[in-house]
Amino acid sequence: MRRTAAAAITLLAACADKPDGVVVGALPAPVTNNAVAFARDGAGRGTLYSFLGLGAGKTSADIASSAYACVEATMICRRIEDVPVAEGRLAAVAASVAGKIYLFGGYTVAADGAEKSTPEVFRFDPATEQYDRVADMPTPVDDSTAIVLFDRYVYLVSGWHDDANVTLTQVYDAQEDRWFRGTDFPGAPVFGQAGGGDRTHLMVMGGVELSLGADGKRNFVASKEAWIGAVAEEAPDKIKWERLPAPPVGPFYRMAASSGLDAIYVAGGGDNPYNYDGVGYDGVRARPSSRVLALDARKKAWRIIGDIPASMDHRGLVAGDEGLYVLGGLGPELDVLNTITRIKAE
């Protein structure tokens, strides 16, 4: 094994010269490596959701199946029904499609440290707060991306499958509850990468490459690559990939990424590949970034747009009605956070 709403985002890009993040709320418990999403609850309120992840102890016993809902307008949070799995999950991803939230994969850790990528996909209905199991992933992956295009298709690009990274692009059709293959990822296969999309593009950057040294030892190296893919709605399986310029900071691992109408946003991340406790595979503690970046997909240009309290170990950057949100994560002292940080145009 390898390891022992869109309108608010347009406003953010247009109006904020330096939209620094501020802490605006707290989750019911500290959690990191959690799958996150935004949807409207049964009362029509914009709500931030957190599923699965790792608790404060950062051991295999702290891997959780718990879930939380936080109403954006009030930042009042509560625990909701756990994800219906026998064991908790790390490195799952979530995506909002047509008012529902989909949870993809992740991995389990046994008492002896053995890890297993899981195929399950769940559809969560915010109106009823019930989960339904839908079509499993053809190839189970964890530490992947969940990029939504056309409010229908979810693109899982690269990621880790059991004992190695894959180049697959697996696409889930939420309307038909089926999977199909997209054009393979052309970059070095990675896990823990960031991914986001705009109207017709998806972006993948960072993460960790796996290589073998001359002695046969497995090495984990932060990827400096960033890629953008153009997709047409009438041919969702065809992705025209193109290498992007390197971002102005990084490379980083497990950044929080989000999607928008006119830009793709990335925040935080760790400077050294690590297992789930925040300590690098080389024994050096990872340090989190505070930077927030925006990518103009059409111009293929990066810019630094602000800062957040430094954090890493994220599975997504949530796009709400009033800004972008980072939920939980690992802080500078490798402490598991319960904070909710908002990046908002003032």
In this prediction, residues 327-338 reach a mean pLDDT of 97
Instruction: Reply yes or no on whether the pLDDT at 245 is more than 70.
Output: yes
Confidence of residue 211 (pLDDT cuts 50, 70, 90): confident
Question: At residue 330, does pLDDT exceed 80?
Answer: yes
Average pLDDT over residues 74-82: 98
The sign of the dihedral angle between the CA atoms of 53, 306, 8, 264 is negative
Alpha carbon separation from 294 to 120, 181, 306 (Å, rounded): 32, 28, 10
Report how many domains make up the chain: 1
pLDDT at residue 187 in the model: 96
Q: Which domain holds residue 232?
A: 6-338
> CB atoms < 10 A from the CB of 238, how many?
12
Residue 112 or 82, more confident: 82
Residue 343 lies in a domain: no
Q: Which two tokens stand for residue 32?
A: 């990191």
Checking if the pLDDT of 317 tops 80, the result is yes
CA angle 40, 203, 64 (to 5 degrees): 50
Say what the alpha-carbon torsion angle 226, 323, 81, 316 is, to the nearest 10 degrees. Answer: 10
Q: Is residue 324 part of a domain?
A: yes
pLDDT band at 19 (very low <50, low <70, confident <90, very high): low
- Please give the distance of CA 179 from its chain centroid, rounded to a whole number: 20
SS (H, E, C) the chain: CCCCCHHHHHHHHHHCCCCCEEEEEECCCCCECCEEEEEECCCCCEEEEEEEEECCCCCHHHEEEEEEEEECCCCCEEEECCCCCCCCCECCEEEEECCEEEEECCEEECCCCCEEECCCEEEEECCCCEEEECCCCCCCCECCCCEEECCCEEEEECCEECCEECCCEEEEECCCCEEEEECCCCCCCCECCEEEECCCEEEEECCEEEEECCCCCEEEEECCCEEEEEEECCEEEEEEEEECCCCCCCCCECCEEECCCCCEEEECCECCCECCCCEECCCCECCEEEEEEEEECCCCEEEEEEEEEEEECCCCCEECCCCEEEECCECCCCCECCEEEEECCC
pLDDT for 260: 78
Asked if residue 6 has pLDDT above 60, the reply is: no
pLDDT band at 10 (very low <50, low <70, confident <90, very high): very low
Nearest one of 90, 33, 35 to 254, comparing CA atoms: 33
pLDDT at residue 114, rounded to an integer: 86
Q: Has residue 259 got a pLDDT over 90?
A: no
Q: Is the pLDDT of residue 9 over 90?
A: no
Q: Which amino acid is present at 233?
A: E
Q: Decide: 67 and 52 in contact? Cβ < 8 Å.
A: yes
* 206-217 average pLDDT score: 84
Cα 140 to Cα 98: distance, rounded to the nearest angstrom? 24
- Between 100-109, 200-209, 243-252, the lowest mean confidence (pLDDT) is in 243-252
Summarize pLDDT for 295-308 with one digit per residue, the tens: 998 899 999 999 99
Do 340 and 320 contact (CB within 8 A), yes or no? Answer: no
Mean pLDDT computed over 85-98: 96
Question: The CATH number of the domain where 78 resides is what?
Answer: 2.120.10.80
- Domain membership of residue 346 (yes or no) is no
Question: How far out from the chain centre does Cα 196 lie?
Answer: 9
**Tokens representing 335?**
């402490």
Q: Which carries the bigger pLDDT value, residue 260 or residue 45?
A: 45
Please indicate, yes or no, if residue 273 is contained in any of the structural domains.
Answer: yes
What's the length of the chain? 346
Whether 131 has a pLDDT exceeding 60, the answer reads yes
* Nearest-angstrom CA–CA distance, 343 and 292: 9
Determine the average pLDDT of the residues in 245-274: 91
pLDDT, averaged across the chain? 91
User: What's the mean pLDDT in 32-44?
Assistant: 97
Instruction: Identify the pLDDT of residue 18.
Output: 54
Strands in 301-311's sheet, in edge-to-edge order, are: 256-258, 264-267, 289-296, 301-311
Please indicate, yes or no, if residue 344 is contained in any of the structural domains: no
The two tokens of residue 48 are 């931030």
pLDDT above 70 coverage of the chain, percent: 94
16: in domain: yes
Q: Decide if 191 is inside a domain.
A: yes
Question: Is residue 81 pLDDT above 60, yes or no?
Answer: yes
pLDDT class of 137 with cuts at 50, 70, 90: very high
* Per-residue model confidence (pLDDT) at position 11: 38
